[in-house]
Structures are given as C-alpha cells and as structure tokens.
Structure 1
C-alpha cells in the first residue's frame, strides 16, 4: 500500500511551485554601512554599487541597503504582480536570522522582508517602474549552540553571514495559490485525524481525486471544484470554538540588542498593516507601549498608519504595560508603574484602555498581580508560560486567579500551548484536546503569527483560518480580538470557573533569579533611588516651591521599566544587551542621586543625619505603627577564645572559628542559639543545565557541593565602635572576601561577600543553617509576602527548590523567628535537614544564590567583581523583617535635619511605598501605601502640609467609586485589608 499523504504532499509542493507563473529579475545595487543603522534619508543619497544575486553580504549585526529596480515586461502586464525577495534565508526559525524593511523611493515604508513574508506587493500598475529600497539586517543565527562571540558586535568578526538569493518581479496565478491553500488545509486536517475516523477517509478520498486530476495538467479550477464539497461540510454543533488572534510576540531584547528590537517592531507592524489591506478581518493584538513608542519616534509615517489601524480595530493594543516585564524580580511599585506608564501611553496616544494584562512569556507570576490588574482598571489576564512546567501540568485553562489579598481576575492559558501559532490543524486539535475545562467551557484563544521579528501573521495563516471557520473535524475558528474572546468566556464560564490562589510559580527557568548579577543589583538600586528621588523632590516642591522634575522622572522610570523586560532583568539576553544595561543603570544612578541631592539642598541641606528612607520614615525605616524597639547602643567586645573569635554587643554574641566561619549566633535577649551549623558558609555547586544555560538551575546539581572553609587571610578590629571581621578565601580561579560587622546594640549581623568571580558552569550560594523547625518560609514579594513549604510532601512542593524573594526571607517556629535581608540578590532556597536518629526538630537552612556562570547566551556572564550585602536578623517577626528589609536597601542621607514628613502613619499598620506629585502635573500629592503583614488594620495618617481633601483613587490617579469603596477613608483613618494596596490623592 502506497503512502497516500506523501503523494499528496508532493502534489502540494508542485502546486506551490506553480503559484509563480512568470518571473523577471531585478537589477540590484547595494550600500553596506560600517556604522550602526542610519535613517533612510541619511542613506538614500549615497552611491550604491552594483550587486549580484549569489553574492555574500552582511557581517554579524551589520546593515546593508539594497536598491531593487526594473520595469514590468509586456508579457506580465495584467497579472497580479509581486516582488519576491530572498536575502539568503535559512531553515532557521523566522526572526532569528536576516530580516529587512522595504521602502518606497519617498521613504515611506512598504513592509518587512522575512522568510515567511518575503513577497512585496507591486504598487505601480502595468507600466510603472519598480524601485524599492530594502534595509537588510544581517543578524546572526545564535540558536542554542553554546558560547559564541557573536552575541556582541564588539566581539563578533566581520565575515559575511548570508548570500543574497533572489530579487524578482513575479506574476502570481491567484487560482493556483488558492488551490494550494485548499489542499494544505484539507491534507493537514486529514493526517491529524484518527485513522479510524470516517472524516479522515472521506478527506483523503477527495484529495486523491483532485491529485489524479492534477496529474493530467495543472487545472486549478477543476481541482478546486473537486475539493469544494469537502470544504463545505460544517462543524458539529458542539465543536470547540477557537478565537484566533493575530500576534507577534517580540522580545524587547534577547538574542539581539534593544536597537534591533526597534527595527523588528517596524518590520512586523508594517507587515500587519500590509496584510490587513488584503485581509480586513485580521485582528492583531500587540502589547508593550514601549514598542509603539519606538515606532512613534523612529518611523512617524508608520506610526500614523498604526493609529488609524487602532481606530478601525485592526491593531488591538493589549496588556496596558510599558513592556512585558518579568513579575518575580521587580518590586511592587515597579509593577504599578508598568501599568501606569503603559496605560497612560495607550490612553493618550491611541485613545484606548486595555481590559486585559497580556504576559504570555514571563517566567512565573507574582501573587500580588491580580490586585494591581484590577486597580489599573483591567479585568482579565492572559499567559501561556506555565505550560512549560517540568513537573506538574497546570490544571486549568480558564480560571479565576486569586491574589495574595483575595482579589480575583479571570485568566486564560491558551491550551494549544503556544503564543506563536500558525492556525494549523495540529494546533487546533491539540488545543481542543488539552482544554482543561472542556465540560462547561467551549472556548479557547490561539495567538497566531511569527514572533521576534519573524513578521507576525501571514496570508497563509489567515487562509487556513477562513477554511477552518466552520469545517467538520476541526474546531470552529473565528478571527477576533482578545476582548471578544474574554467577554464570551466570561459569559459562558465565569460562574463555574475554578480558583487558583497565590503565585503562579513556573517550574522552570529558576536560574533567572540569579543570572547576570549586575541586572539584579542595578534594578534594585534604581527602584529605591526612584523612590527616594520622588519623595525628596515632592517634599522640596511642597515645602519650598522647588520645581518637580516630571520629565526627568518619567524618562528614568521608563528606562527602568524597559530593563525589567523578561529577558533583560532575568539575565537571559546576549552580552550586548547586558553590557548596555550596566551602562544605563550607572547613568540612571548618577542622575537620580543628583535629583536627591538637589532636593535635599533646596530643603536646607548640610545639617545632621536625616531619615534613612526619606521624610516619612521612623528610625530610618518605614513606619509600621507600633513594633519592637531596638536596644540602646552598647560597647562591642571583640576577643579571642582559643582559636575562635567572639563578638558581643550585649544583644548578640557571635563566634567564628579559626577559618572565619560563623559557628554561633547567640541571642542574649531570648537566651537562644540561632544557628544549627556553620553559617555565612560559601558553597559551590556544578551548574550545567541541559538546555537553557542562563535560565535554568537543575536539582540534581544541588546534591553535589563544595564548602569553602579554608581561609587565606583573617583580620578583626573594632573601628568607630563597630566590630568587623574580614576573611579572604580562594578557590580555583575565584577570590572571595567576606565581611561580618556587629554594631553597638544592634540586633542584626551585617554581612558582605565580595567575589572576583571567574568560575564557569558553577553556582555560588551562601548558607545559614538555623535552629528553628520551620514548616514554611515567608518571602517578600511586591506589596506583601508569600508562604512556601519547606518540605517536599508533594511534587508541587518539591518543584519549588529555588525560590524568589525581594528584600527579605523569614523562617520561624511558634516561639522564634529569623530573617535574612538583602540588598543585592533574589534567588534563595530553604530546606529542612533530616534529624536522623536523634530526637528533636530538624533545623532549617536558608541559602542565598549569589552567582552563576552560564555559557549561553552570554559566554562571559558575571565574570568580574561583585559585592553582595545581606544581614541576619535573629528574633525577628514578619514586621521586623519588613522593617529590616527596607533598612538594608535605603542609604543614610545627610542634610535637611528638621524636615517634617509629608505623610506619616500615626497609628495602625501600613508601609508608605511611594510619595510623589500627580502624573497630571496638578501639584496634588499622591501617596501609595499597603498593609504588609496579611491582616486587617485601621491606619491613622498624618499629613504634614495643608490640604483640601484626600481621595482614594485607582493606580492611574483617577476617581473610581469601586476602588474607593474597597478602602474606606474618613477623618484621617483608612481601613485596610490583608496586603491591600491603596493610592491616595491629596489636594493641596
């Protein structure tokens, strides 16, 4: 028996080849730039040199301009004409190789040129001359092949990567092209249906009849007539419904630099506009206000076309965020600003409000997000990434996601498990099969289009959508917007949808909490500097009338938000991206320090020590109302006991062995030993992920470790009343310098590790075995914290072997707790050691992940010197952990000694997270605060300036009756629920 599908594929190939009825080569000239990309107007007047098809072009990251010229020959007039351009495309996925953007001679954009969108419309009619410019980018194909110098233009060579393959004017046989679409849709459906399915046999029989007919000659109309009854058979009444949404997920940086993303956006968006002229049914969902802003700045003509397409519904802005950010690593206020700056851009520049948050590719989702989604005015949430879970399949497709505060948002995970769909029968049937809730639910969303510069949706995808719109054997397909899908799903299913509570942890890519140390440290420092700059500038404006730096703060926030993109901040981009990001963080830091200094000077700087966190803090940390008070300072005693060092400040007594390893922390207040073993202990693990180097930590590698317990040097002294121990260690190519400080009367141990990191394929952690039997850890996330089990009772528990925490992580039992606070890292693990045969509880070990050394995509990731600062806080409860976490991240400021806080928490329990002037530049003061411990509280606020009224508003600083009803405010008292975030607008 012969292979019927194989024969039919050969027929399809022959039909596809016959789409071009004729071709006429175009003359080519070229201009290779030896600089970064330049605008059309700066290039078009320069001399172009003759260039031949088959010639090599394009070093890595280069730009070559091609000019294609010719005229329509007499024989081709009257046909549908297109320009076929092949820059030397390879079989590699579109978006990960050469790309181009075609221009008319007047500089207006035609469309992108990528492997699946390489045909350009001929716009000049039968007699018009062909004259097209193509700006071609020779982006290297990095793939996943391991360390490569091609990830940065400073290390890449100048060898050309591509050979120009084609530039022809072609005449298209539209009936043959349509026949190809018919054959493909039916054949791909037939081979995906079960072999005992009658529909499969009917499809194959009809296709073979058409093939027999085509063997006698390419009679497209006759063959299409044979296939027409097969395409007319309607879907069953109970058929699954797929909302197909045009999409082109474009990473704002990844295996290309930010500057290339600017061009990828222009190419893809131009493709969408060109495709919509041919297929007006297209609905293209596009997130990330930053990407629209790039087009607005660099391609104003294209921007105006996008604005028109938004108005007519073709272009659908989604997500309402500045970029598709990571959500684990950014602080809570950063997530607010993603929504504020993104939403404001969409509202002011495009006249739309986004009803959904759209994050298909971020590496897990913080439990604080649902509340922020709703406070920003959105109703729905879309992701897909948890389909990548290595251990536990996520149990729902459409569900209510409940945040840590109790807020719920209707959420959908496309069951076809892709955000780069092609509307194939395979995808449609897979989505139908994997719809987790297919009893009461009948709808799913399928984003379709080539992403990352691959060109977005194509004609072929929309042709398949048309044929699958109502066809027996396959789900019904309707091309529509995300809002139309969600509205239908909400109506159909919302009252029956299950609930998922808390964070959505991705069981994959856990190394992104640690990779590229400078990204984590730069982001953390920038977030706190932005906070301080707004606070001090607001205080100076209110107190002295100083000008508030609206423009500078907006620009700096937007730069910080861009760098929180889910392949920049997580450390999973090429070397070029991280090199530039380090430079950006340094510039932002200097500018923000300047804003702080200027504001303090305006307030009468030059005086005594000011409040640590700015003028709303108590004892240098955010006010939480009542809480533990620090012991009065006392003298620190530093002495030797045999080979050991002993430090005692009357609150804590520390002991270090001869190698400088911390062996005891005795809490003199509680008369309790804090440690269960050697602490502040550096540990090395092999780190060789199977696939995604910068992304992954694999559990089997954690079973092998090397403890660094040998000291090259040990020094101890008391200086300025503070005892400090310095230990120097070396291992292999790396050098480690650890510092321990104990201040008079302090209830915390200040710790620091500076490492000249030269290891490869290695993970560095620092361990703290603690004498508490904790069944769970509590870790700070944005605007609150989450609890995670320390045991591995279930596969869900075991999968959380590496976790993310912001400024603090806390463990404890019923009588005692310990916090580990930090200013420089996010990755942690918490384990409970077995007690063996001895009686008693098992201790809990908390470890910070400090450095990794992945080889891809940046082969020199983290080589160099890094300093990590953290502190051990014995006897801490959660409130103390919150307080100490802020203390560790906010520097001591000098000057403005007598500044009264603009706002203070007089009683109750709240953290004031942001104080700023209103976005609308009215001069109103905006205060954002939250309940940090997970309980209800009444908070009395005291404002240190004259004001007319105080209003509870949404994140966009607008009046909203529903939002106001959630947080009653009267007579200076605000009622807060667990982890509730509230924004107040105070009118001066």
Structure 2
C-alpha cells in the first residue's frame, strides 16, 4: 500500500545562494512540462499527428495551487497532449547530442504514455512514476509528440503531479541538473548532520552566483564547482547505503488473487532478466505462499529463482506464510504462519529465515518478538509506523521486547515502492544516522504493491550515483549482509510494548464478515485438532494431517493484511468467502469424524429405559465447565445413574444444566418427551439475575438500567448496553480509517420498537428487544442462564447504513488508570486517561476476545465472539460493532450480521475473576453428539487431559508436522509463573520442551514463566519418558 505521491520537495536551505544555485543548475537541463499540456478530446487518435487533429486549438490544461493537473474522481479519463520542439539550448546550456528523458509522476488508476504515436509505458496507482527515454541523442529542431491517457481512481481525484524533460550527459561532467542534485545532497547533509559546513557551502554558492551558462568557460567553472563540492562532501563518502531490490506484492487488494499470480510472474521474470544485465542486483522477496504457487504453476520460473537463491543474489525474506494482519489473529494462527512459512523455506528453498519481513501490516502485537524468536527469527523489519498520523515513532533500530522478555532486533526500514531518488535517499540516510548513530542505511528500490520491482532505469541511476563524489557509497547486497554490519545490539534502545499504528483504526471493524469467519476458523481448527488427536491416540483413527493443513493454509492466506482487515475490493471477498467456508467446514468434518470414532469406543451401562439413547457432551478446554446446553428436540435427560435432570423446554429445544470435566466428555441418556412449554408472563418485571449478577432493563429504551455483581456492587453509571451511532466519513482511506472527529458527529440512537419476554426460566431467561434506525434493524436477546456468570447479548443486525459507526457503550462506576485488553497469548494494559500524544492517539484499539475495566473492588469485562475494536475513556468501555465504508468495496458490511457479546461484572481483579478463560469458553461452546450403543474400552464420562494451573490456557493439541510426536501448546495468561502438572483419568507424561518449529529444546522444564508461550511433547501412557 502506498500514499498518494506529491510534488518533489524543494531544497531545505537557510541560505539563499545555495537555493538559487540549485535552481539555476536544474534549469539548464530540466524543463517543467506542466504548463505545456493541452486537453485532448476523447476522440484523439494516439497514433495520428496531433497537429493535424487540431492540437493548437485545444485548451491549455489548468493547474491547481500545487501545480498539479487534476481531474475528477470516479474512473474518469483524461487525455493530455504536448507538442514540443527540442531547442538549441535549455535555458542557456546547449543540449545537442544529450540524451532526453520524460519524467512523469501521476495519481491515476491507469496510465498510458504515447511518444510519437507509440505506446511506450503503462502504469497505475502503484507504478506511478516513469522516466521514459525519448532520444538517445537529442537534435535541436526535432519535434516531440507526447500523449497521456490517465484514468482517475474511483475513490479520489486524479492528478498529473509532475512532468519534466531532462537532458542527460554522457560525458565525464554530468548534466547540470545532476550537479544541482549533488549540491542539494551536500546542502541537506550540512543542514542535518554538520551545520558547521553551511557557511563554507554558502560561500561557494555565492562565488558562482554570476554563473552564465552561455559563456565559453562554463564547463571549466562547473568542473571547479564540482571539485569544491567533492572536497566538502568527503564525509558523505564515508557513509554507505545498501540497496536491496524489492517488489512489495499485496496478495489481494484492489485486484483479485488471480491477478496477483500474474503480477508475480511478470515481476519475477523481470527481476531475473535484470539480474542477467546488472550482475550487481540483489533482490529480496517474502511470502512462502507465493513461492509455493510459482513452484506448482511455473516450475521453469521456480528453478531459475532457486538458482539465484543458491547464488546469493535472491534473498528469501519471509518468516510467515503470508504478510498477515497482526492485531486480529490468534497466537496459534501466528505460530502456524511461522511454522508453515519456515518449513517451506527450509525444505523447498533451502533457507531458514532469520528475518520477519512485514513492511505493510497495520500494527504489531506485543507478543510477536516471542513468537518470532521461537520460530528461529531474530530480526523484524517494517516501515509501516512511518504512516503514524499523530506522533513520530522514536526509533529506527531497537530491541523489541515481548512481555516474557523475549527480544528481536527491530528495524524501521526506508519506505517501500520507491526508486533511486538521490535526495530522498540522502535525506533518509541522514535521518537514519540521527536516529541510530549508524552511517550505514538500507534503501529498497522497486515498484511495489502490485509488484513490478526494480526497473532498468533505477539500476542505471544507481550506477550513475555510485560514481558521484558527493553521495554515499552505494552497494547492492542482501539484507543479511547489511544486518551483520550493524554492530553491537546491546547498545540499542529497548521498546517494551506493542507497536501501535496510529492509523487504519477502522480495520479492526470493517467487513465484519471477515472477522467472523476468522474467529470461526480459528476456534474450529483448534477443536478439530484436539479431537482428532484424542481419536487417534484413543482409538487408532487416522490423523487427517493433509486436510487440516489445507484448512490452516486457507485460513492463513485469508489473514493477509488487506483481506482480513476488510480493505479490499468485492472480487477479493468473492474469492475469500468460499475459502473461509471450506476451511471451517473441513474443521467441522474432522471434528465430527473424530467424535464419532470416540463415541464408537465407549462402553455404556444399562439405559434407564428401553427407549433411552446415549448422548455425549464434549469439552475441548481444560477445567470443569458448568453451563446450560441446548439439545435439538424435546427430551427427558438422565445422568448415568438413571437420575432425571431438571430441564426446560423451548419450542424447538431442550435445555439442561450440566458440568463437563476438562478436555473430556460427559455421558447422558435422552428419551423422547412430550414438551410442556412454560407460559410466558408478558408483564413480568424486566429483571434478570443469577448467582453471579443481576440486571434491570429500561422499558423505554431496552438498555440496561442497572448491573450488579454477585456482591451487589453497581457497575453502571448511566444506561449501559446502549447503541451509539456516529457519522464516519471524509477519510481518504475509507475502509481503513475511522474519522478521528467522529464523536463530534453523533447520530440519533436506534429507537426501541418492542421488548418481549421469550423465555423465563428456570434454566434460561431470554428477553428480546428490537430497535430500528433509518433503514437498519437490530434484534437483540438478553440471555441469562443459571450456570453462566455472564449476561449474554445475542445480536442480529440488518445493517443498511453508509459512512456510519456503530458502538455499544457501558458507562461504568469503575475508575481506573488503565483498561486491559486481550492480545495474542496475553493481555495488554492501555491508559484510560492519556498523558502523552502517543497515548492520546490510541483512541481506538484492537483486542481479541475480551476487554476489562477494573479497580481494586472489581470491574466489568466485555467478552465477544467476533469483534475486535474497543475504546475506553472517562470510565466508559465501548465495543465497536459495525462501520459502513464504500471504498474499496461499495457494499461493505451491508446486510445481516449475527454475533454475540457478553458482559461479566465481577469482584476482584480480572485475573482472579478468570476473565481470560471465560472468554475462551464463550468462543468454544460445548459440543453435543448422539452415540451408538457400544462396548469399547472408554468410559461414558471421562477427563482425558487436565492440568492444575488455571492460568495456563491451551493454544493447540496436535500431531507434530513430522508425525513423530504429539504436541501440547499453552501460554501463561495472567502474568504469574505456573507449573504444568498434568491430571486426568489417563497418566499422560510431559516429554521434551519444543520450540515454535516443533523442534526439541535443551530445557525440559515444566515451569512456564509469566506471559510465556510453551510447547511440550505429550507422551502417551505406554511411552517411556
């Protein structure tokens, strides 16, 4: 992704003589074409003579205050024409026999450049700069015919930002504009790093103030000027800029995935051709998923890439399977991103990556250093924090530390999608030196976003500037070679926090369907692997590794940082949705087959009656779980002793309260029953209560009037569970960004249409409210059971709003300096009362399954099953539900959304109240399944696997990728050291401790440090430790 290009900045100089000399030098070999373009009619014939078609009668194109030629958005086509005769002199400098180039920068969805009736260049929003060779040797009097066809973006006005003719020298003395750039580079170096040089540089510039380029001694004077600049620039030559060719390639964004495969082939073929012509060129690319596609579909191209990798000229900078969204995915998803990425790189490309190359993801969770380190990666690279809208990130090179103490080297790279722009390179180098103290910087030339990579012109420019005495040394090399020279890492500053991007806050919410699919896939795959593992261990069933890997890879692909965030065109989601659905269906099928295999091996006791049927309830989380389950149809339910359990009938279900042991199952009997459904009292008080909480509903709004915890503390300070609407528009990055001033534009809250009791106990209560706003309808059920400590809000929204933001708010009586939010494998505390600009910029933050606001007496947690955006200010905790952006997807979020969130008022801290495991339970409900009568070796109720420490939450139970061991992965969730001690009906043992790539570590400790992610080999009872 890239920002809209703007005009080339002028020299930053405090001294007029330097600026004047730069302008004078550039004027001698550069011509600004912006005033010379005319508006050609849509009927213009590109191949025909422009003069004959009426060129001289066409209107001059108007320029705005930025000197851009702009035209309206909406994929409107603009034709610009220019007829220009090569003069004897450019200003006063003779130009005969010099090379002539056309330099262009546009902001257009599509661009075509015609020279003398021939199409010579195409481009788009990403390939938006061009340097076209017009003549090898310019001849005065030669007439140029230039024509541009530009199509404006659908979401933004188009613009021709810059157009210049540049005459280039082939002699030892470069053209004057090149000399002007050298002067500008030396000036910027003096301004930023050695201001004591400015007076001397100013004096040199003043001595050439009378330069007349028409005089015979001009060449000699210019040679002396360059010599004097070179003398001052000697310190610059002590600096070095490493170049690594790059082609950022978004797997899907403003184009579908199929187009990405085509762009990748073109890009990689281009790079290989350029490496043949420019042996110095090194190139780096990420994304093992992309290499795998090339391997399968273009084996010839893949073999050529492998050869360059072996030669050290093509660097695999990968790490994860794709470049994913890193705020919204689970820790296990990140483990698999790295596991599959590293395995492919090692086994197929012959490289184990030490670098996580993530230039464009929209912020980075705090546990990423630990996850990277466990996958054998010690360096993290991004440039995205340069996009911050409020503060400048303080470090360019630093040690990034996770909460458990794990560290990686972190590098804020130069911008991506750039060319060989000497002034930009120089300014970045000086900035880098000021930030890091290092005189060695890294630049990444290459067209990006839609692929492209380095161009021939970039490489030719690099060769020219390698020879300049006024520029840092330029050298193509690999990122690995560059990193090895960065020196002692111990001296670097430490960043011990998340890397929050002060931008793109709407991506936590946009395209809510993608967020729901992601959560469903992650939870379904966890459950599928747990039960497939147990089925294999207990019954000998085959472990479906191939199917699970395919489902995981589809999920990981759709976690790409422009798919999951909701920032792509409709065609992308037409491809992604079936992939999500298939991954989820595969997980469900694997789980169903595993549960069926287990059920077939259970030995049942005698049933309570001849018509009773076995029924199993499975729990895939550790710890006993008490809840109310729903069974389709109407049944009498009996425990294994034949005792009938209390139940409640709804029109379609039977409800029963059960307790199921950790990672195990509970056997019951069910017998068909004639239902007696309790009559509903429509006048009953709007009050809900159980042993954990009590709530009162406002009959006028349907909002919460009161919410008390089990000790009777009131948690609300005003109406809670209140839907709030805001206007959310005016942002260029529509799907990405929430309007920072949205709270200044509130809209009327949805109005209550009805409030109706649907269920009134004794096991479950359900109160439904229906609200409406404009064209949208909200149907929400307050659901409370006798067994669950939360009040659940089951919500269906028919959303038809555009450029609106919908939140649900809970004003609380809790006053605390921080709110706590779940992140991948941990929790993060963020200020509720910002004290710094950086803290104030976090006015919308990401979280996974829960957020909590607590003081010393207790607090309020919001749990959810597919939402990710929160904010907390002034004792008010809010969950963001929906948006209504129209670009790049005009239909984003329109239609029906089903989701649930729950509110959990609790005494004590969030840790003591068990907020983290409860949120897991909300997302991983128990599973019920009928069972056959069998006489196997398994008991009808059993605890397969449990452990003693409640704060150790499971991430995975699976077979290893090599198939030779079983693996249990968990993490410490509350910041306190824990010991993993396995319990249960089977005598499992813990084997070797494993890293994130499932390889044994030297330590076999079962102690898990605060916030640590730990993987263990799980030994079967028959195995020896």
Normalised to the residue count of structure 1, the TM-score between the two structures is 0.76
Provide the residue aligned with 1:847 in structure 2. 878
Cα shift at 1:854: 1.0
1:534 equivalenced with 2:529 (yes/no): yes
Cα shift at 1:225: 9.7
Judged with a 3 Å threshold, the aligned counterparts in structure 2 of structure 1 residues 567 and 54 are, in CA distance, closer, same or farther, namely farther
1:261 equivalenced with 2:260 (yes/no): yes
Question: Is 7-16 or 773-782 further displaced after alignment?
Answer: 7-16
Q: Structure 2 unaligned segments of length 5 or more: list them.
A: 1-16, 34-44, 50-73, 76-101, 114-125, 134-148, 159-166, 189-197, 601-612, 628-658, 664-676, 932-938, 1021-1025
Judged with a 3 Å threshold, the aligned counterparts in structure 2 of structure 1 residues 230 and 465 are, in CA distance, closer, same or farther, namely farther
Provide the residue aligned with 1:390 in structure 2. 389
Q: Does structure 2 retain, via aligned residues, the 8 Å contact 1:947–1:987?
A: yes
Q: Deviations for 1:620-670, whole angstroms, at most 9, x for unmatched residues?
A: 899999xxxxxxxxx99997889x612233442221111352334443631
Provide the residue aligned with 1:39 in structure 2. none
Cα shift at 1:907: 4.2
CA distance in 1, matches of 2:225, 2:502: 46
Q: 1:556 aligns with which of 538, 551, 556?
A: 551
1:889 equivalenced with 2:923 (yes/no): yes
Cα shift at 1:198: 5.5
Question: What SS is found at the alignment partner of 2:352?
Answer: coil
Q: 2:819 aligns with which of 777, 784, 800?
A: 777
CA distance in 2, matches of 1:95, 1:179: 40
Provide the residue aligned with 1:30 in structure 2. none
CA distance in 1, matches of 2:291, 2:171: 34
1:860 equivalenced with 2:894 (yes/no): no
Q: Does structure 1 retain, via aligned residues, the 8 Å contact 2:524–2:584?
A: yes
Q: Deviations for 1:97-117, whole angstroms, at most 9, x for unmatched residues?
A: 689xxxxxxxxxxxxx97879
Cα shift at 1:542: 1.4
Q: 1:659 aligns with which of 694, 700, 721?
A: 700
Question: What SS is found at the alignment partner of 1:598?
Answer: helix
Judged with a 3 Å threshold, the aligned counterparts in structure 2 of structure 1 residues 54 and 916 are, in CA distance, closer, same or farther, namely farther
Provide the residue aligned with 1:790 in structure 2. 832
Judged with a 3 Å threshold, the aligned counterparts in structure 2 of structure 1 residues 758 and 950 are, in CA distance, closer, same or farther, namely same
Provide the residue aligned with 1:328 in structure 2. 327
Judged with a 3 Å threshold, the aligned counterparts in structure 2 of structure 1 residues 208 and 324 are, in CA distance, closer, same or farther, namely farther
CA distance in 1, matches of 2:451, 2:203: 36
Cα shift at 1:707: 5.0
CA distance in 1, matches of 2:535, 2:480: 44
Judged with a 3 Å threshold, the aligned counterparts in structure 2 of structure 1 residues 207 and 919 are, in CA distance, closer, same or farther, namely farther
Q: 2:982 aligns with which of 941, 964, 977?
A: 941
CA distance in 1, matches of 2:211, 2:545: 70
Provide the residue aligned with 2:462 in structure 1. 465
Judged with a 3 Å threshold, the aligned counterparts in structure 2 of structure 1 residues 397 and 610 are, in CA distance, closer, same or farther, namely same
Question: What SS is found at the alignment partner of 2:321?
Answer: coil
Provide the residue aligned with 1:151 in structure 2. none
Question: What SS is found at the alignment partner of 1:590?
Answer: helix
Q: Does structure 2 retain, via aligned residues, the 8 Å contact 1:686–1:761?
A: yes
Q: 2:452 aligns with which of 432, 455, 461?
A: 455
1:806 equivalenced with 2:848 (yes/no): yes
Provide the residue aligned with 1:649 in structure 2. 690
Provide the residue aligned with 2:783 in structure 1. 741
Q: 2:1009 aligns with which of 965, 970, 977?
A: 977
Q: Deviations for 1:722-756, whole angstroms, at most 9, x for unmatched residues?
A: 11111111111111112111112432101022111
Question: Is 656-665 or 749-758 further displaced after alignment?
Answer: 656-665
1:611 equivalenced with 2:618 (yes/no): yes
Q: Does structure 1 retain, via aligned residues, the 8 Å contact 2:617–2:926?
A: yes
Q: How do residues 672-687 of structure 1 correspond to structure 2 at under 5 angstroms?
A: 672-687=713-728
Q: Deviations for 1:189-237, whole angstroms, at most 9, x for unmatched residues?
A: 3234439576699799999999869999xx9xx9999999699877427
Q: 2:490 aligns with which of 491, 495, 498?
A: 495
1:142 equivalenced with 2:153 (yes/no): yes
Provide the residue aligned with 1:105 in structure 2. none
Q: Deviations for 1:259-313, whole angstroms, at most 9, x for unmatched residues?
A: 1111111111111111111221212111111121222222221111111111111
Cα shift at 1:11: 6.0
Q: How do residues 238-637 of structure 1 correspond to structure 2 at under 5 angstroms?
A: 239-414=238-413, 416=414, 418-435=415-432, 437-438=434-435, 440-469=437-466, 471-489=468-486, 491-492=487-488, 494-604=489-599, 607-613=614-620
Judged with a 3 Å threshold, the aligned counterparts in structure 2 of structure 1 residues 470 and 737 are, in CA distance, closer, same or farther, namely same
Cα shift at 1:433: 3.4
CA distance in 2, matches of 1:238, 1:467: 15
Cα shift at 1:539: 1.4
Q: 1:872 aligns with which of 895, 903, 913?
A: 903
Q: Does structure 2 retain, via aligned residues, the 8 Å contact 1:650–1:668?
A: no
Q: Deviations for 1:113-137, whole angstroms, at most 9, x for unmatched residues?
A: 97879999xxxxxxxxxxxxxxxxx
CA distance in 2, matches of 1:318, 1:199: 42
Q: How do residues 953-972 of structure 1 correspond to structure 2 at under 5 angstroms?
A: 953-961=994-1002, 964=1003, 968-969=1004-1005
Root-mean-square deviation (CA, aligned residues, Å) is 4.1
Cα shift at 1:6: 6.0
Cα shift at 1:238: 8.0
Question: Is 3-12 or 370-379 further displaced after alignment?
Answer: 3-12
Cα shift at 1:941: 2.3
Q: Deviations for 1:423-469, whole angstroms, at most 9, x for unmatched residues?
A: 32222222133227557433322222110235211233333434444
CA distance in 2, matches of 1:938, 1:421: 51
Provide the residue aligned with 2:118 in structure 1. none
CA distance in 2, matches of 1:52, 1:392: 47
Question: What SS is found at the alignment partner of 1:592?
Answer: helix
CA distance in 2, matches of 1:601, 1:356: 43
Q: Does structure 2 retain, via aligned residues, the 8 Å contact 1:401–1:411?
A: yes
Q: Does structure 2 retain, via aligned residues, the 8 Å contact 1:623–1:910?
A: no
Judged with a 3 Å threshold, the aligned counterparts in structure 2 of structure 1 residues 873 and 424 are, in CA distance, closer, same or farther, namely same
Q: How do residues 225-240 of structure 1 correspond to structure 2 at under 5 angstroms?
A: 235-236=234-235, 239-240=238-239
CA distance in 2, matches of 1:119, 1:861: 39
Q: Does structure 1 retain, via aligned residues, the 8 Å contact 2:173–2:223?
A: no
CA distance in 2, matches of 1:331, 1:863: 26
Question: Is 444-453 or 232-241 further displaced after alignment?
Answer: 232-241
Judged with a 3 Å threshold, the aligned counterparts in structure 2 of structure 1 residues 711 and 462 are, in CA distance, closer, same or farther, namely same
Question: What SS is found at the alignment partner of 2:502?
Answer: coil
Cα shift at 1:571: 0.8
Judged with a 3 Å threshold, the aligned counterparts in structure 2 of structure 1 residues 654 and 3 are, in CA distance, closer, same or farther, namely closer
CA distance in 2, matches of 1:370, 1:176: 49
CA distance in 2, matches of 1:310, 1:210: 53
Give the total of aligned pairs.
Answer: 831
1:905 equivalenced with 2:947 (yes/no): yes
Cα shift at 1:949: 6.5
Q: Does structure 1 retain, via aligned residues, the 8 Å contact 2:397–2:436?
A: no
Q: Structure 1 unaligned segments of length 5 or more: list them.
A: 17-50, 62-85, 100-112, 121-137, 149-173, 626-634, 833-843
Q: Does structure 2 retain, via aligned residues, the 8 Å contact 1:187–1:207?
A: no
Judged with a 3 Å threshold, the aligned counterparts in structure 2 of structure 1 residues 454 and 320 are, in CA distance, closer, same or farther, namely closer
Q: Deviations for 1:324-383, whole angstroms, at most 9, x for unmatched residues?
A: 111101111111111111111111111001111111111111001010111111111111
Cα shift at 1:551: 1.4
CA distance in 2, matches of 1:882, 1:763: 27
Provide the residue aligned with 2:747 in structure 1. 706
CA distance in 1, matches of 2:345, 2:854: 46
CA distance in 2, matches of 1:532, 1:444: 47
